[in-house]
Amino acid sequence: MAGQTLDIKTPDGTFTAYVARPAQTPAPAIVVLQEIFGVNKVMRDICDDYAAQGYLAICPDLFWRIEPGVDITDQSEAEWKKAFELMNAFDPDQGVRDIRVVIDTIRSHEDCSGKVGAVGFCLGGLLAFTTATRTDADASVAYYGVGIEQRTGEAERLAHPLMMHVAEEDQFVPKPAQELILGALKNHPQIQIHTYPGCDHAFARKGGEHYNAEAAEAANARTAAFFEANLR
C-alpha cells in the first residue's frame, strides 16, 4: 500500500514525508534521502520499490524550510536551475537534524520493527554519510554523495555500517575528491566502498542522462543485501 504522507513534527514546525508501506508490518524502515529535485517521482518510486521488498519506506521533504513540497525533474534547464538554487540555499547540518527527527518518528511508528536504515542519492548521498556519522541509524547507504571529501574526519564517530557507491567519472565528485574519500575511508571497519568505472553522477537515476542500467543493478543488489544483513 503506497502513496501516503506522514507529518514530521519538529520544534520549528511540521513537514511532510512520503511513506510507502510493505504488505506485512511491522517491518524495518528505510529513510530515503532526496536528490536536489525534491520528493519527486524518482524518489517516490524508490520508496515504492523498497516497500515491495518488505520495508517501510519514508522520503522526507528536506527542503521544507526553504520551499515545502518541491517536486521537479531533471528534464529541463529551468528545473536544473531551480534545483541548484535550492541546493545552495539548503543547510546540510540542519538537514541532518531534521533527518534525526524522521528516524525517531519512524522508529517509534507502529508499522516499524524498530530497525531504521537510510539511503541517499546525490545531495542525499552526502546526507546519508552524515546520517551515518551523526545519528543512530542502523545502516546507511550513500549513492554518489557530493561533498563527502570535506567531511571524512566524521567517520571516527561511525558506530553502524555504511556502504558507499562512487561513480569513477562523477562530474560533481572529481578524481582528487574521490582519492581523498578512498584514502580516508577505504580501510574503515564499518565502511564498504564500491566504485563504478565509466559511470557519471546519478548513474542509478532511472530516466536520467547518465543512467547506467548494469551499474545501477549492481549497486542496488549490493544495497539490498546490505540492508537485508543489517536491518532484518
**CB-CB contact of 20 with 12 (8 Å):** no
**CB-CB contact of 63 with 70 (8 Å):** yes
**CB-CB contact of 30 with 57 (8 Å):** yes
The catalytically annotated residue of 109, 165, 201, 210 is 201
**CB-CB contact of 84 with 36 (8 Å):** yes
Q: How many residues does the chain have?
A: 232
Report the candidate in 19, 39, 37 with the shortest Cα–Cα distance to residue 29.
19
> Which amino acid makes up residue 132?
A
Q: Which residues contact 26 (CB under 8 A, 6 or more apart)?
A: 56, 110, 111, 112, 113, 114
- Let me know if 170 is a catalytic residue: yes
The catalytically annotated residue of 61, 74, 138, 170 is 170
**CB-CB contact of 152 with 181 (8 Å):** yes
> Which amino acid makes up residue 122?
C
Q: Where are the alpha helices (DSSP H) in 69-122?
A: 77-89, 92-107
Burial code of 5-20, b = ≥16 C-beta within 10 A, e = fewer?
eeebeeeeeebbbbbb
**CB-CB contact of 118 with 128 (8 Å):** yes
CA dihedral defined by 216, 222, 225, 230, rounded to 10 degrees? -120
Catalytic residues: 170, 201
